[in-house]
Structure 1
Amino acid sequence: MQQAVVNCVEAKSLVLRQRYMQLDQPSSQVALQNIRRLCPPIATILINSYRNSTELFVDGEVILSQEATEEKRGQDNRNRQEEEAASIHQQLPDGLQKAVELSKTKGASTWLTVLPLSEHGFTLHKSAFQDALALRYGWTPTRLPSKCDCGKNFNVEHALSCAKGGFPTLRHNEIRDTTASLLTEVCSEVCVEPNLQPVSADQLNGASANSQENARLDISANGVWGGRFQKTYFDVRVFNPLAPSNRNQSHAATYRKHELEKKRAYQQRVEHSSFTPLVLSVTGGMGVEASLFYKRLSSLLAQKWDITYNKTLCWLRCRLTFSLLYAQPSKQLEALYRRWDMQPGHPLRST
């Protein structure tokens, strides 16, 4: 009986005619299990045909079994798109290549795809959105002043690093306060800028260790790693990847450099506790240790809020990205625009 079914050309054609059949889908797996029970030889033909690139003669047409699956075609399309993107990327100027690489890091594009919900703080006004796009791709924003208030020449790189107006500090504080606020939801004894125990310089190893008597870290909390009474200290750093000291390094090496600097400075000061450096870039990416921490925080929040982990992690990344955008140089540009427009004789001067 089984041999007769296997030798039946119509039966083979009926089974293999669905060239878009997806054997990796759960429903197809169930169907394949039923075929295995009812007619093992046909199941063997199906498995071998779709695992190997087999020529199938169906309705007078020759098709390849692997090319007949949605998974294979989808993978081919992705591979082709990646090859085209790599080819275009090689033709870009060096500065734009760096900007594109930064925009591809995880978390750097969430602000472009999220719904603009004001209750979550996921909104930007028109000029801030335009400036954020310009900074994302290394473009020069419109109406850019020639001089900064600090007296230096004004450009995008300077806008990201200039301390005039305190915008680097503002970015740092936005991430610190956002993180501390979320930690209070799931941890105990959350403290902002906790003081460290005083130590003498001879008790510390390494010249880069911070031995200041009034040294402080950004956040401390119990219950992040280990038991609920285990204290963890956090210190935030938001760096400019376009700065000369970071520009010629890979992203991974830059994040690692800043993490090690934080650890050398504070690791020895947190006795009987753990220390996690939270290193982020102004473009929205983050270092390995920061990524692990925010995944852990998302897991704790998901359990408390009874929301799936993936949704919580996506929301948290959006929250952090917008915290950086709110403190981006767009505010500095606006302030400079206003001063620039008010200069006597300027064609855009307000009347």
Structure 2
Amino acid sequence: MHTAIHEGKRRADAQAKERFTDGVSRLPPGCQRAARRAQEAKTHAWLTAMPSCSDQTDLSGDTFRDGLAVRYGYRPPNLPSSCPGCGCTFTLTHALDCAKGGLVIQRYNELRDVIGDVSRMAFGADSVYKEVVLKEGDGQGREEARTDLVIRDVWDRQRDVSFDVCVTDADAPSYAVDEAGVVG
């Protein structure tokens, strides 16, 4: 009985994998890469999260639809035709990469703030500092050194750790890998 059940599950998994591969092969190249990445990295958990105001998983219809479009490489509806910051054609890639009018700073700040909020819950409000200047600039060409977060007690008691947040667009052309495994 157990062998039959196990064999049935294995066969169903193989059929599902075959259907997925067949479906993905029919998508445009950028969407193929996004679908494979979403499946391999299991980034679909947000689709089944119970909506809740307290942990900000209560998405509006527009936010949910835009999230699906971005995650699977499609153009979200209602994007402006030109970038409000630099005037270039406003594509999804441009929105995620443009430092003037895109979403780079917004995504960065949101991630930094979430990490800071979780750290405050774990280590206490007086143990987390944002945008800390580590070294002052001298006004003669040497810039100041900053860090995104300083959190006390992460590795050792009464020791500060500096964290620098980096947000990457996984669908940027520079991350594309061809069939031979070559990036670029």
Shorter-chain TM-score range: 0.7 to 0.9
Asked if 1:142 corresponds to 2:77, the answer is yes
Residue equivalent to 2:146: 216
Aligned counterparts of 1:153 and 1:108: Cα–Cα separation in 2: 29
Structure holding more helix per residue: 1
Extract unaligned runs of 5+ from structure 2. Answer: none
SS at match of 2:165: strand
Q: Which residue of 1 aligns with 2:57?
A: 122
* 1:192 paired to 2:130: yes
For 2:114, the equivalent position in structure 1 comes to 178
- RCO higher in structure (CA 8 A, sep ≥6): 1
SS in 1 for 2:154: coil
1:162 aligns with 2:91: no
Q: CA deviation at 1:166?
A: 5.8
Match of 1:108 in 2: 43
* Corresponding position: 1:243 with 2:163: no
Alpha-carbon distance in structure 1 between the residues aligned to 2:146 and 2:50: 37
Q: Secondary structure at the match of 2:51?
A: coil
**Superposition deviation, residue 168 in structure 1:** 1.0
Unmatched 5+ residue regions in structure 1? 1-18, 23-65, 200-211, 255-351
Structure 1 residues 215 and 166, CA gap change in structure 2 (3 angstroms): farther
Shift of 1:216: 0.9
* Aligned partner of residue 219 in structure 1, secondary structure: strand
CA distance in 2, matches of 1:198, 1:107: 42
1:229 aligns with 2:158: yes
Contact 2:83 2:102 in 1 (8 A): no
Question: Computing the radius of gyration over CA atoms, which structure comes out larger, 1 or 2?
Answer: 1
CA distance in 2, matches of 1:221, 1:155: 37
Gap change, CA 1:152 and 1:97, over 3 Å in 2: same
Q: Is this contact kept in 1: 2:131–2:149, CA < 8 A?
A: yes
The C-alpha deviation readout for 1:226-264, integer Å capped at 9, x for no partner, is x323432211111212223223489xx99xxxxxxxxxx
CA distance in 2 between partners of 1:84 and 1:183 (Å): 42
Distance in 2 between the 1:174 and 1:218 partners?
Answer: 12
Distance 1:249 1:241, change over 3 A: farther
Structure 2: distance between partners of 1:194 and 1:145: 35
When normalised by structure 1's length, the TM-score is 0.44
1:79 is the counterpart of 2:14? yes
User: How far off its partner does 1:127 sit?
Assistant: 1.9
Over the matched positions of the two proteins, sequence identity in percent amounts to 33
Q: Which residue of 2 aligns with 1:318?
A: none
Considering only aligned residues, what root-mean-square deviation do their CA atoms show, in Å?
A: 3.1
CA shift, 1:213, in A, is 4.8
How far does the alpha carbon of each residue in 1:33-80 deviate from its partner, in whole angstroms, 9 at most, with x for none?
A: xxxxxxxxxxxxxxxxxxxxxxxxxxxxxxxxx3x2x23322232133
Taking the aligned partners of 1:119 and 1:166, their CA distance within structure 2 comes to: 28
- Give the structure 2 partner of residue 92 of structure 1: 27
